[in-house]
Amino acid sequence: MSDNFTLTPEQEALRSVAREVAKDVYAPRAAEWDLNRTLLPEEESARLGELGFLGICLPEEFGGSGAPLIDALIVIEELAKECRPAAFQVFEANVGPVRVIEFYGTDEQRKTIIPQVVEGKASVAIGISEPDAGSGATDMRTTARLDGDEYVINGTKRWISGGGHSQYYLLYCRLDDKPGAKAIGAVLVPADAPGLSFGAQEKLMGFRGIPSADLIFEDARVPAANLVIPAGGFKELFGVFSIERMGNATMSLALGQAALDRTVAYTKERAQFGRPINEFQNVQQTVADMAIQVEAARMLIMRAAISAGRGLPDTYEVSVAKCYANEMAKRVTDLGMQMHGGNGYTEEYGMERMHRDAHGWAIAGGTPAMQRVRIASEIYGQAFNQRAN
């Protein structure tokens, strides 16, 4: 990737392969998987692993490619245009919590977890939100108390993408009695840990085919060696979480681009009053507005990704990109539905599915409202306390 936002020949080739897989393998099944809330079959996780898509950004010493962040985002976008559950597997592997293990985990944790992720044999989900702690993450109450050579965990995590399906959970929790963020760190919890159970699978408006369930800890126990981030490491956790937000933004970009592409194709073929509807000025103006918004989101995402390289992206650039891309996807998919007329309101054309998913990605990883707070904090150079005095 160069400074003028053009892809290298290798990145163009990667995009071409990802686009071919998306259209040939996943597009024919995406609508059915959405309708039936089908989770991505295990053989498809293996396929993504064999293609090398699950290790794009992960270290070569553990089977990955060690490529820059932008390479993973290229693949995520192409898959997400057709099938969000398939893209989510690449998302979790390259921009999800496994990156915390890469940056801050022990040698043993990296050696154990990362190769499994690269091969599609395991996924790692993140546990942050709770019933009473969403945007205010530092209000979390889940605790991990050291008892000999084990941590004893109690609490409930909510809105866990991958919940009940992933093999490992990176759990944000309170490790001591200090107030606010000072007590928060993270431990790695395997799905079969004694004392861990799962709530019923959520039936969400979108995100169908992406598992989501509560994590319930009742004196759950994990070895002390499973500590990833000690108390007081909240800043480090959310520093790496910026990578995940880049994935969120890219999912939104994919939805906007797909809505634009389908709308252009539809308005060229659909005729009213004796001519194709793309000859009407209102359609032209609307499609142009859609394109402007998609292109703006793409540039913001690429700026942040290029700046990050193989490291952590800039917080300000990530928040701007995610906020704009999330809201763009909601607007553009809505406009796409309108341009499809009554057909946009049916399941047949897939527009309503994209619009439902667009709202989900705007919530995941920090809402646009919270991104604006972060943006303002960066602009003013100070933190703003949202809590009542």
In tens, the pLDDT along 148-171 reads 999 999 999 999 999 999 999 999
Structure tokens at 289: 């507005």
Q: What is the amino acid identity at position 383?
A: A
Cα–Cα dist 307/300, whole Å:
11
Q: Tell which of 231, 265, 298 closes a domain.
A: 231
The per-residue b/e assignment along 300-330, b for 16 or more CB within 10 angstroms, e otherwise, is: bbbbbbbebeeebbebebbbbbbbbbbbbbb
**Terminal alpha carbon distance of the chain:** 47
Q: How confident is the model at residue 1 (pLDDT cuts 50, 70, 90)?
A: very low
Using the predicted structure, report yes or no on whether residue 294 has a pLDDT greater than 80: yes
Q: How confident is the model at residue 270 (pLDDT cuts 50, 70, 90)?
A: very high
Residue 218 maps to a domain: yes
Question: What's the pLDDT score for residue 3?
Answer: 44
Residue 177 is given by DSSP the state S
Residue 386 maps to a domain: no
Cα–Cα dist 10/16, whole Å:
10
Using the predicted structure, report yes or no on whether residue 4 has a pLDDT greater than 60: no
| Sequence-distant (≥ 6) Cβ neighbours of residue 4 within 8 angstroms | none
Angstrom CA distances, 193 to 105, 153, 206, stand at 19, 10, 30
Give the angle 238-228-320 at the CA atoms, nearest 5°.
Answer: 10
Cα–Cα dist 161/126, whole Å:
8
Q: What is the pTM of this model?
A: 0.94
Please say whether the beta carbons of 321 and 301 come within 8 A. yes
pLDDT tens digits along 167-182: 999 999 999 999 988 9
Please report where in the chains the tokens 């797909």 appear, as a residue: 258
Q: What percent of the chain has pLDDT over 70?
A: 98
Q: How confident is the model at residue 2 (pLDDT cuts 50, 70, 90)?
A: very low
66-92: average pLDDT: 97
β-bridge partners, 170: 126, 188
| Sequence-distant (≥ 6) Cβ neighbours of residue 316 within 8 angstroms | 374, 375, 378, 379
CATH of the domain at 212: 2.40.110.10
205-224: average pLDDT: 96
Please say whether the beta carbons of 96 and 244 come within 8 A. yes
Residue 387 maps to a domain: no
Using the predicted structure, report yes or no on whether residue 374 has a pLDDT greater than 50: yes
Residue 2 maps to a domain: no
210-225: average pLDDT: 97
CATH of the domain at 20: 1.10.540.10
In terms of residue numbers, what domain contains 202?
125-231
Please say whether the beta carbons of 238 and 366 come within 8 A. no
Residue 209 is given by DSSP the state T
Q: Tell which of 202, 231, 260 closes a domain.
A: 231
